Structure 1
Amino acid sequence: MADDKTILVVGTYDTKDDELNYLSDCIRGQGGKVRSMDVSVLGDPSVPTDHSKHEVAEAGGSSIQAAIDSGDENHAMQIMAEGAAALALRLYREGKIDGVIVLGGTMGTDLALDLCAALPLGVPKYVVSTVSFSAMLPPERLAPDIQMILWAGGLYGLNSVCKSSLSQAAGAVLGAARAVEAPRRDKPLIGMTSFGKTVLRYMVRLKPALEERGFEVAVFHATGMGGRAFEGLAAEGAFACVFDFAPQEVGNHLFGSGISAGPDRMSNAGARGIPQLVAPGCYDLVDFVGWQAAPERLKDRETHAHNRLLTSAVLDPDERREVARAICGKLADAKAPVAFLLPLEGCNEWDREGADLHDAEGLVAFCDEIGTACPQNVALHRLEAHINDADFSDAALAIFDQWVAEGVVKK
C-alpha cells in the first residue's frame, strides 16, 4: 500500500486540538502523512502546526491582528477562510498535499466550503462537520466533489462516539488520496445536463455519437447538486462545449424551490466563452422536496410524485412565460455562440400529446415567449419534433458538427 500520500488537516487548534491530533494520528497510523493547518484566531495549539494561523491570515492578504481588531467573529473567520483557501491551493500546486480534511462546527464548516471550492476537481476533499448535510449549506458553495461526514457527538471533546466518525474520516480521505483517478484532459470534455431516461432520453443517442467524434461526455443530473457541479466545472472553463438541455433548475430557483443549483445556474458557460447548445428540457416543471410542503407560489398546482424524495409541480402558461424570460436573460451575456433548440412538440416524456402532463396551451405560451424574448446573440432553431425524438438529437449533432468544422468548438 502506498505510504507517500499527504493529507492537509485543517481546523481551529485552539478549541479542537485533541480532536485534530486524534484525526492526524489515525491518518499516520494507516501509513499516511499529515500537514497541519491552524485556522484559529484567538488561541494557540498545544504544539506548533505546520502552517500557523499567522501564515494562514497572511496568505489571504491580511493578519491575525486585523481579524482580532475586527471585533466580529464572522468577519474574522472570513479572513481565515480566504487565507486557508489560498494556502491550500498553493500547497496542492506545489505537490505538498494529496488531499484535505477539515474539521469543524458551523464556523469551521463555513471556512471549509471556501477551502474545498478553491481546490480542483479530483483532489480528495472531506469535511467532518456537526452540520454535514444540513439545509443551511447552500448548494452554490459546495465543491463538485466535496465529501461530508457527520461529526456525531463532536461538539466538544473526544469520546467514543466522535472517535468513530473521526477514524472513518481518516480512512476515507487517505483511501481516496491513494485511489483517486483524477480527471484526464486527453480528450475535450462535453458537459450535458439531463434527468433519468423516463423523462429525458436524448443522452442515450448523443453520448455515443459525441464519443465517436473524439469527445468525452459527462452527464449531470440536474436536480440541484448536479447542476451545481456542472456550473462549477463551467466556471473553471473545463468544457469544450455544453449541451445544457435540462435547465429546470433555473425555474426551481425562480420559484423558490429548495432544489436549486444557485442563482448562477446557466450563466458560467457563457461567461467563460464556452459554446452552448441549449434546450428547455422539463421547463414546465418545478421540483421540490417531496416530503416537504410545496413552495408558496406552487400550492394548488397539479403535481407529479417522482418518488418519496422528489415531486414536480406543473406550471401554468403565465409561469412558463416567466421561465422563458429567465432562461433568455441568462443567455443574453454569453461570450460565445449559443444555439437554442426549441422542440415544438414537447420538452419531456410526460408532456407528449396524450400523456398525463400534456398542456398544449402551456407549450404554445412558452414557445411564443421564447421567440419574443430570445436575445440577438442566440440562434433560435424551432424544431418540429419532441425533445426525445431522434430528429431533435440529430439537429443538435448537426449544429455541433458545424461548430467543430468552423473551429467554434476546439477539438
Structure 2
Amino acid sequence: MKKTILVIGTFDTKAAELAYLIERIEAQGGATLAMDVSILGDATFPVAVSKHQVAEAVGTTIPDLIALGEEGEAFERMSAGAAVMTRRLFDEGRFDGMIALGGTMGTDLALDCAQSLPIGVPKYLVSTVAGSPLIAAERMAADVQFILWAGGLYGLNPLCKSSLSQAAGAVLGAARAVEAPSFDRPVIGMTSLGSSCLKYMKRLHPELMKRGYDVAVFHTTGMGGMAFERLAAEGVFACVMDFSLQEFVNVQHGSLVSAGTDRLSGAGRSRTPQLVAPGAADILDLAGWQDIPDRFKDRPFHQHNRLIKNVAFNVEERRHLARAMAERLAQAGGATHFILPKGGIEEWDRPGEAAHDPEGLAAFTAEIEAAMRGRVEMTALDCHINDAEFCDAVLAKFDAWVAEGIVPAGSIAR
C-alpha cells in the first residue's frame, strides 16, 4: 500500500526546499500531503492544506495574526492550529507519517505537531537546531526523530540536498516498516540508570513477563525519562515502576541532563498505579564536557564515560531532595507506594565505591521516612536496591495490587 507523508513547512520562504523534499518522497513511490504554515507570504507551491485552514483550526485568521504585530505570538497561534490540523488529518486517515523542516520557528511549530500524534506514527523533524539544548525535553514527542539540517537555512545547495534526501528516505521507510504498538498485553513502564548502576530490572523483567506483562525499561538520562513521563501521563502503562529518580534530582539542581520539570508526576496525573524507589537519587548528572560547578568540586566524583559524569550530594541536599520527592508523590491521583531500600540506592554507594557515604544515606532515608509519613504509603527495607530482597518486595506489592484489581491482570497469550 502506498504510504502518504504529511509535509509541514513555510511554503512562502522555504518553497524550494519543501518542493525538493516532496519530489524525493514521491520519487521513491510515496505520496505527500503538503501543509503550509507560513503567515506573511503566500505559498509558491501547491498545497493540500492552506495557511488559512491552519489558522481557522484555532478560531483565528491570517489577517488577525498579522495584526498582532508580534512574530513570536502570531507563530505560537499558528503552531496551535498546525497541531490541531495535524491530529485532525491523522484521525481522518489522510497520512501515515509526518515530516517538517525549519529553523527555530519551524522547529517550535513542528514539535507541537509531533506531540499531537500517537506513539508509533513516524515523526521526523529536519531542523537547524537538532540536538540543541534550546529544545526542552518536555517539548518532544516520545518517538520523534531529528535530522540536522546542515547548511539549510536559505536555499538549496549540495549539503542541503543531502540532508533532505536522507530525510525523505527515512520518513517514507519508517512509514513502510513501522510496527505500531498494539498493546495486546498490559505494559509495565520501568526506569533504570543503565544496568551497571541499577540492576533490579534483570530480575524483575523476566518475572513480570512470566506474569503476562510486557516491560518497557527507560534509560533515565534525560530523553528516556521524558518519554517515560509522557507515556505515563497518557495512561499507556498498566503500572509504573519508577525506581531511578536522578532525573528528578537533576532538575532540582539545574542539570542539563533533564527530563523536564514534570518528572515524577505523569503517572499521578493519569491515576496509573505506581511503585517508586529512590534509585540513584544521591548523585547529580553532568555532561561529560561540562566543568564541575565550584560548589561540587570537593564532592565524590564518578566519570561514567565521555558523555556523562556524576558528583554526590551532601547531607543537607539529600534531605531537601527527600522532601521534594514526598511533596511530588503526595499529589498523585492513583495508588502510590514508595519502597525505601535503606542499605543503598545505587551500585556506586556500596562500601569501597566512589559515592559511599553512610552518613548521607542515613540522613536521606530518615528524611524520606519522616516526609512520607501520613502522605504516601511506604515500605522500608534493610537491603540495597540492587539486592534480591528489593525485587522480592516489589513483586509482592505488585502481586497484591493485581489481586486487589488495582493493576489489571496480565495476559499470557500473545
Fold shared by both chains (TM-score > 0.5): yes
Deviation at 1:108, TM superposition (A): 0.2
Deviation at 1:296, TM superposition (A): 5.5
Once the two structures are superposed, residues 116-162 of structure 1 have per-residue CA deviations (whole angstroms, 9 ceiling, x without a partner) of: 11111111000001111111111111111110111111111111110
Deviation at 1:41, TM superposition (A): 0.3
Counterpart of 1:316? 314
Counterpart of 2:161? 163
**Structure 2 residue 359 is the aligned partner of structure 1 residue 393:** no
Counterpart of 2:412? none
Mapped contact 1:256–1:295 kept (Cα < 8 A): no
Aligned counterparts, 1:63-142, within 5 A: 63-142=61-140
Mapped contact 1:257–1:295 kept (Cα < 8 A): no
| Cα distance change of structure 1 residues 335 and 296 upon mapping to structure 2, 3 Å threshold | farther
What amino acid sits opposite 1:170 in the alignment?
A
Mapped contact 1:280–1:347 kept (Cα < 8 A): yes
**Structure 2 residue 328 is the aligned partner of structure 1 residue 330:** yes
| Pairing partner for 2:400 from 390, 396, 402 | 402
Q: Distance in 2 between matches of 1:333 and 1:81?
A: 31
Q: Distance in 1 between matches of 2:397 and 2:337?
A: 8
Q: Runs of 5+ in structure 1 lacking a partner?
A: none
Of 96-105 and 373-382, the range deviating more from structure 2: 373-382
Mapped contact 2:205–2:215 kept (Cα < 8 A): yes
Q: Distance in 2 between matches of 1:134 and 1:55?
A: 31
Q: Distance in 2 between matches of 1:8 and 1:189?
A: 30
Deviation at 1:297, TM superposition (A): 4.7
Deviation at 1:195, TM superposition (A): 1.4
Once the two structures are superposed, residues 97-126 of structure 1 have per-residue CA deviations (whole angstroms, 9 ceiling, x without a partner) of: 100000101110010111111111111000
SS in 2 for 1:7: strand
| Pairing partner for 1:247 from 245, 254, 259 | 245
Once the two structures are superposed, residues 322-364 of structure 1 have per-residue CA deviations (whole angstroms, 9 ceiling, x without a partner) of: 1111111110111111111000100111112333321100010
Deviation at 1:403, TM superposition (A): 0.2
Counterpart of 1:190? 188
Deviation at 1:71, TM superposition (A): 0.6
Mapped contact 1:223–1:249 kept (Cα < 8 A): yes
SS in 2 for 1:280: strand
| Pairing partner for 1:364 from 357, 362, 374 | 362
What amino acid sits opposite 2:399 in the alignment?
D
Counterpart of 1:280? 278
What amino acid sits opposite 2:364 in the alignment?
F
Deviation at 1:83, TM superposition (A): 0.7
What amino acid sits opposite 2:192 in the alignment?
S
Q: How many residues align structurally?
A: 409
Of 351-360 and 309-318, the range deviating more from structure 2: 351-360
Mapped contact 2:11–2:45 kept (Cα < 8 A): no
Counterpart of 1:343? 341
Deviation at 1:90, TM superposition (A): 1.2
SS in 2 for 1:245: strand
| Cα distance change of structure 1 residues 142 and 375 upon mapping to structure 2, 3 Å threshold | farther
Identity %: 58
Q: Distance in 2 between matches of 1:308 and 1:355?
A: 20
Q: Distance in 1 between matches of 2:295 and 2:76?
A: 35
Counterpart of 1:144? 142
When the two chains are superposed, the root-mean-square deviation of aligned CA atoms in Å is: 1.1
Counterpart of 1:153? 151
SS in 2 for 1:25: helix
Deviation at 1:295, TM superposition (A): 4.1
Q: Runs of 5+ in structure 2 lacking a partner?
A: 410-414
Deviation at 1:164, TM superposition (A): 0.5
SS in 1 for 2:112: helix
Deviation at 1:300, TM superposition (A): 3.2
Deviation at 1:223, TM superposition (A): 0.5
Mapped contact 2:301–2:354 kept (Cα < 8 A): no
Q: Distance in 1 between matches of 2:42 and 2:9?
A: 12
SS in 2 for 1:8: strand
Q: Distance in 1 between matches of 2:360 and 2:183?
A: 42
Counterpart of 2:202? 204
Q: Distance in 1 between matches of 2:95 and 2:348?
A: 48
Q: Distance in 1 between matches of 2:321 and 2:249?
A: 6
Once the two structures are superposed, residues 42-97 of structure 1 have per-residue CA deviations (whole angstroms, 9 ceiling, x without a partner) of: 11112331000000111122221221111111011111110111111111111111
What amino acid sits opposite 2:287 in the alignment?
V
